[in-house]
Structure 1
């Protein structure tokens, strides 16, 4: 018999949803069978799958041991002795990490589990802010993601409540994200709005842009402004008004100003003199703009967070300072 003591992070969810996360090897059919047979109880009594767990509940599972074997790769954070993490901001609910270009946020198709979330979990575990054994169905999780070769701010939720709120707010477009990029040439006009339809090609892992809506395409809108020029490069700030795959990379290429180092949408001949191996794109700023009360996270409303520096800005635009930027 195994017991789970329901904590605040595990409370408020249906019993069946908790079991799907806490005991992932237990098939759904078996779960419902064991609920009927009282081999799964809450506070010593029979419970329905729809029962809402409350803090302090005790869940008893009279199940075979093989259902509790952890899936392979699940404990990647335990193998990290020294987390590589640049923290922009942290409190009891969230952590904002400045992801380095080249790091993946989640385990990829190649099985690379040296990920940003693993390093965040390792850090929180080692400093005592997260105890995996105290929350069977919750682990610190990322609320947004950025490409491997893009750097910048990624939001991690440290509590289940924060994760639920932020997922809703991001879906409602109440978290503003701004990027800096180095592009070839000078955008014309220097500032503007790029708006069209973007379709993702899953096989090629690339997107195409269309002036009119085509099957599978979604509206893509990017606001941009040119901040500085240096030689044949320009420093551009972009605000995502929609959050599509490769949106900034495809949009800047579409106006004749591909990102420096972008092997997918760029121009190799232009990139070659610089020797860059990844796109010069950085999610440098994040602002919370809640239109409705955000519960435990209301204190974040109208707060803006920025990274202290961006490598390609320091390298190619040394006289420019991120601190001098104002929101547009």
Structure 2
């Protein structure tokens, strides 16, 4: 019996690269890998489902699950995790210096359901005391006009969201037509009229983790359900391969013998991350990520990205929720 032929679309990550190069095989699978930027992979997979396995926005995924779209299923592998206090942008020379000052202001977002934006709004609501309904929300492309939402929303009562298809958030912020931007991708004017709200964002984000235990998950690996139904072993075999690729990556980054990336003090930095996050600095699996995932689905429901409140066990196939012991 030959190996199953599948295509995986994913960004070019250090901790998944050994899968892309074939150094870490997926047992039983002949894998064709497309290295695509996140926006392209999400757009093509969301609308056209062009391949069987894909990196996907966590926000889009939970929204679809909440609307009973079971055409895809995720495994608890998270290629991208980024703290998002660093993605709150304001005008240089403006009067906004603290997050609580965003109450009553106009805030631009590239998509309401963008994962990074969901986490940022959760921070503003729960840590900074900025109610969703106190803000005039504006949706537009970050640097180009014409960006649209990719999932159906169910906005809470009193929340105002205005699409601006003819403008970009970058231009509106520089022109004073909005007061802040929440965006995973920096506006083009960053450093040239636009600045971060938090200059020392790493310290703010580390404090947020210590306070909440939330290490924001941006992206997840999803599989077409039809492929899983035909090959139920696929979910765990993919999961194991991603775990091994990540283990090898962290081992390289921890090696003090040679430089594995063009960065000084990389190994000591990795040790700093272990001091903050624990020995597994980039955990996969449900249980190790329960605090983060629970906060995220709660944020998504509160913000109208999820149409109903989700249980975490709904997100992943049962075969990847437990593992064998020897």
Shorter chain as normaliser: what TM range? under 0.3
Larger strand fraction of residues: 1
More RCO (CA 8 Å, sep 6+): 2
Larger helix fraction of residues: 2
Larger Rg: 1
Question: Structure 2-normalised TM-score?
Answer: 0.24
Question: Structure 1-normalised TM-score?
Answer: 0.24
